């Protein structure tokens, strides 16, 4: 059985988000909800939800056309349409009576073998299926998505005692390959895994910050990156998800968990938080939260609330001694540090890790699955048991005993060991019987992190490494700061070009950081410009051009495999590949104009070539030039890999992988397919119109400058871009080869780098520490 048509019942934020992700997978979706009393439009709830999907930020749809795959309806008029569905997902209010009544209606119309699931996180599966037939129950599971469904990779699945294994396998395969989800099978317990531990951690961190008198900035600085948790920390995260959500979560947990559960001790809401909710300070969706943006004398100022007084004041960088030097890079040092920051870190982590260990095997008997749930659902760098290993099992338990904590049996059983180890090149985790079991990967999952544990790189420098990923394919990994392209990465590309011929079949450009590459290391260019090292700058630009050109015409196939941001020089590396296998969440673009520059490593040349060769473009040279000019001058960045094809940052034949963990495997297979009878790309030549095209482009920009939509300096940048794309001093009778266009790129780049506004923009970007986005 294949899943081709899905019905989602419940058109709220979560239901519509799930429908959007299924539409992103290219499947037909029926979105149903009730008919509001007195409504003239009986489909108003579902139709309004689809309209919101087209506007919501961040976008739920990977392309606006995907909305057409979602059909709006209602439960009165379209109930029989459920007979078309291969999978029906219930996403209605958490009331058992309403869910049971809905399932009775679904059972009357669903086709045999149709899978039915609930998105509940609080109601037991046995209660949900009470009164239903054995056949219905055997095709019923809980599928707990995280919000927003497009971006949150975790999907918790709870099966029943009679769940049909074939139906479960079909569902899991669909959610893995088509929806890109990381699946974690859970026991049927309140909150399952991620929210049970995550809500406990959030509550504990919040209450300890109040108790110890920390500021929200101090608490977030400690509970964030030093613990391998996103930099939002606890208060920033609560602002993000909505402060008003927590009382509802606590109410549900308190109702469902026995009084003996440690969660009850943390299920308290401080008076200040209650007042904030009552006053509309519910986080980013409200007037503000623990943080807010306030206007002072016309200037936006970030403020934070004082947990003791409830007053807002300008946010201050934390100055705790425990946040200085190497302390935050060594968990043991941080947990032992004798100030309120260290006390906070120890109290929060001790309680959270004790609670996590005490929940095994109640919530699940696989510690790797528990760690995976926290990493996928809460974006933790390490799961709770990986954190214990990082601290040291024995060190942690000794400190627990010294501070009169009860040590859970699982921690006592792990004495003298670690929860994870590598044996015979395989990662293993400790099982409940005290033995190690091998962690197996699903077929089609290939992770560079696994490969790196079992071999040394073929070549390595400070910014890049070359790895053998099997079957004659090498992988070039970037690992500079933010994966910015620098001379060391270019050197490694050149090394790969020399190493592969005669020994290997091809190359994949790939890494497992959050972002493939944020662009070139412009800090080097800024430094060189400030000391007027223009010959060195020209040599650096020429080196990048030559390296990427050699990559493009290498005698072996090269496949780019991006995920996250691929901007500027990162985008240019992809434009020079034979093919790209992109993760669906790839944000690709040439953004150099944002700092007053233009793409100079062949980005202008390659994008212009793609639009010139586009079979759907209008006749003549100007349509291609105008489109490339538009995309580069506006620093357009795709919001997905699918959208990147619209801009020709990706070609029509480039592949898209929904599941991040399958990306390297798919890219490797693309290399192997291309390697059969591979022929290197031929050099290109373009006929460009010269001054007439430059004039036409500048006229369009001048109108934006005059209307105030662009600055005068934007006009100067655009003119340099126009020179490159039009071919400079030429006409249509003259053909431009790749080196001709690269020379124009190089000259324009250096000209702009000599301008004071460009240097100011570069300095500002470096000081902000943020990558360029449009």
Asked whether the beta carbons of 516 and 564 are under 8 A apart, the reply is: yes
pLDDT at 769: 73
158-187, pLDDT tens digit by residue?
999 999 999 999 999 999 999 999 999 999
360-414, pLDDT tens digit by residue?
999 999 999 999 999 999 999 999 999 999 999 999 999 999 999 999 999 999 9
Sheet holding 426-430, edge to edge: 420-423, 426-430, 436-438
pLDDT at 122: 85
Integer Cα distance of 495 and 499 in angstroms: 6
Q: Kindly report each contact of residues 34-40 with a partner whose C-beta sits within 8 Å and lies 24 or more positions away, as own/partner.
A: 34/74, 34/75, 34/76, 35/74, 35/75, 35/76, 35/77
Which two tokens mark 195? 């929210």
pLDDT at 773: 60
> Which of the residue ranges 21-30, 45-54, 109-118, 686-695 would you say has the lowest mean pLDDT?
686-695
Integer Cα distance of 631 and 638 in angstroms: 10
For residue 426, is pLDDT > 90? no
Sheet holding 464-468, edge to edge: 459-460, 464-468, 473-478, 506-509, 558-560, 579-583, 655-657
Q: What is each CA distance from 80 to 39, 47, 100, 108, 132, in whole angstroms?
A: 21, 19, 18, 9, 18
pLDDT at 121: 87
> Which of the residue ranges 469-483, 502-516, 611-625, 635-649 would you say has the lowest mean pLDDT?
611-625
pLDDT at 13: 93
Which neighbouring-strand residues pair with 589? 567, 637
Integer Cα distance of 589 and 772 in angstroms: 10
Report the first-to-last Cα separation within the chain, whole angstroms: 43
Structure letter (DSSP) for residue 670: H
Query: Which residues lie below 8 Å from residue 13, measured CB to CB, with a gap of 6+?
Result: 147
Confidence category of residue 735, pLDDT binned at 50, 70, 90: confident
Whose tokens are 């809905």? That residue is: 102
pLDDT at 544: 97
State residue 224 phi and psi, 5-degree precision: -100, -115
For residue 278, is pLDDT > 60? yes
Which two tokens mark 623? 């349509």
Integer Cα distance of 655 and 674 in angstroms: 13
pLDDT at 199: 96
Residue of higher predicted confidence among 709 and 604: 604
319-353, pLDDT tens digit by residue?
999 998 888 889 999 999 999 999 999 999 999 99
pLDDT at 772: 63
pLDDT at 616: 85
pTM (predicted TM-score): 0.94
Query: Which residues lie below 8 Å from residue 274, measured CB to CB, with a gap of 6+?
Result: none
Whose tokens are 């960088």? That residue is: 317
| Mean pLDDT rounded to a whole number for the chain | 95
Q: What percent of the chain is modeled with pLDDT above 90? A: 90
Mean pLDDT of 69-76: 98
For residue 771, is pLDDT > 80? no
The candidate with the shortest Cα–Cα distance to 290, out of 341, 348, 222, 237, is 237
Asked whether the beta carbons of 476 and 464 are under 8 A apart, the reply is: yes
Confidence category of residue 619, pLDDT binned at 50, 70, 90: confident
Asked whether the beta carbons of 66 and 95 are under 8 A apart, the reply is: no
Which two tokens mark 176? 């893995």
Mean pLDDT of 638-666: 98
Query: Which residues lie below 8 Å from residue 273, measured CB to CB, with a gap of 6+?
Result: 206, 243, 246
CA atoms within 13 A on the CB side of 579: 21
pLDDT at 235: 96
pLDDT at 766: 84
């Amino acid at each position: 059985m294949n899943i081709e048509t899905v019905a989602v019942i419940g058109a709220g934020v979560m239901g519509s988000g799930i429908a959007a992700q299924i539409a992103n997978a290219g499947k037909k979706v029926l979105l149903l909800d009730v008919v509001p009393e007195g409504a003239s439009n009986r489909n108003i709830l579902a139709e309004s939800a689809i309209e919101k999907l087209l506007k919501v930020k961040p976008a739920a749809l990977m392309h606006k056309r995907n909305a057409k795959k979602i059909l709006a309806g209602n439960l009165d008029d379209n109930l029989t349409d459920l007979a078309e569905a291969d999978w029906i997902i219930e996403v209605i209010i958490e009331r058992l009576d309403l869910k049971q009544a809905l399932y009775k209606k679904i059972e009357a119309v669903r086709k045999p073998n149709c899978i039915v699931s609930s998105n509940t996180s609080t109601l037991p599966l046995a209660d949900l299926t009470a009164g239903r037939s054995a056949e219905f129950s055997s095709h019923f599971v809980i599928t707990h998505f995280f919000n927003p469904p497009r971006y949150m990779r975790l999907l918790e699945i709870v099966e029943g005692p009679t769940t049909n294994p074939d139906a479960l396998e079909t569902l899991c395969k669909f959610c893995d390959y088509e929806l890109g989800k990381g699946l974690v099978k859970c026991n049927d317990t309140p909150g399952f895994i991620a929210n049970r531990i995550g809500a406990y951690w959030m509550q504990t961190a919040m209450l300890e910050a109040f108790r110890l008198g920390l500021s929200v900035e101090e608490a977030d600085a400690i509970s964030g990156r030093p613990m391998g948790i996103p930099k939002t920390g606890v208060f920033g995260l609560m602002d993000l998800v909505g402060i008003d959500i927590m009382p509802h979560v606590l109410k549900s947990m308190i109702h469902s968990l026995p009084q003996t559960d440690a969660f009850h001790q943390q299920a308290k809401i401080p008076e200040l938080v209650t007042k904030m909710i009552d006053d509309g300070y519910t986080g980013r969706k409200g007037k503000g939260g623990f943080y807010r943006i306030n206007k002072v004398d016309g200037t936006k100022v970030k403020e934070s609330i004082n947990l003791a007084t409830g007053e807002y004041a300008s946010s201050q960088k934390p100055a705790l001694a425990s946040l200085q030097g190497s302390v935050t890079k060594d968990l043991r040092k941080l947990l032992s540090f004798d100030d309120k920051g260290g006390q906070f870190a120890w109290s929060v982590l001790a309680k959270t890790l004790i609670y996590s260990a005490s929940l095994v095997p109640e919530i699940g008997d696989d510690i790797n699955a528990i760690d995976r749930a926290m990493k996928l659902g809460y974006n933790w760098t390490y799961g709770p048991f990986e954190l214990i290993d990082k601290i040291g099992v024995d060190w942690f338990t000794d400190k627990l005993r010294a501070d009169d904590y009860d040590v859970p049996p699982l921690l006592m059983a792990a004495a003298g060991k670690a929860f994870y180890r590598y044996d015979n090149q395989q990662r293993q985790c400790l099982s409940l019987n005290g033995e190690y079991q091998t962690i197996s990967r699903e077929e089609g999952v290939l992770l560079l992190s696994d490969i790196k544990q079992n071999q040394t790189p073929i070549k390595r420098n400070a910014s890049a490494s070359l790895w053998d990923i099997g079957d004659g394919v090498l992988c070039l990994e970037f690992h500079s700061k933010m994966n910015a392209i620098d001379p060391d990465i270019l050197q490694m590309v050149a090394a790969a070009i020399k190493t592969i011929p005669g020994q290997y079949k091809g190359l994949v450009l790939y890494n497992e950081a959050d972002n493939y590459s944020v662009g070139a290391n412009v800090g080097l260019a800024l430094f060189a410009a400030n000391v007027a090292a223009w010959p060195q700058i020209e040599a650096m630009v020429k080196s990048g051009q030559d390296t990427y050109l050699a990559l493009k015409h290498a005698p072996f196939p090269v496949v780019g495999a991006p995920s996250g941001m691929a901007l500027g020089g990162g985008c240019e590396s992809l434009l020079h590949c034979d093919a790209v296998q992109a993760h669906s969440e790839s944000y690709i673009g040439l953004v150099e104009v944002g700092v007053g520059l233009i793409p100079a490593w062949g980005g202008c040349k390659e994008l212009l070539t793609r639009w010139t060769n586009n079979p759907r473009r209008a006749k003549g040279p100007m349509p291609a030039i105008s489109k490339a000019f538009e995309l580069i001058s506006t620093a357009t960045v795709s919001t997905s890999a699918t959208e990147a094809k619209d801009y020709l940052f990706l070609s029509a034949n480039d592949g898209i992988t929904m599941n991040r963990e399958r990306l390297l495997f798919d890219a490797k297979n693309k290399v192997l397919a291309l390697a059969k009878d591979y022929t290197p790309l031929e050099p290109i030549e373009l006929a460009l119109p010269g001054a007439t095209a430059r004039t036409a482009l500048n006229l369009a920009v001048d109108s934006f400058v005059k209307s105030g939509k662009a600055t005068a300096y934007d006009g100067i940048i655009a003119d340099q871009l126009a020179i490159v794309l039009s071919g400079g001093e030429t006409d249509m009778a003259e053909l431009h080869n790749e080196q001709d266009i690269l020379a124009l790129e190089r000259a324009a780049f250096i000209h702009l780098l000599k301008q004071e506004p460009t240097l100011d923009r570069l300095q500002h970007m470096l000081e902000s520490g943020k990558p360029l986005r449009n």
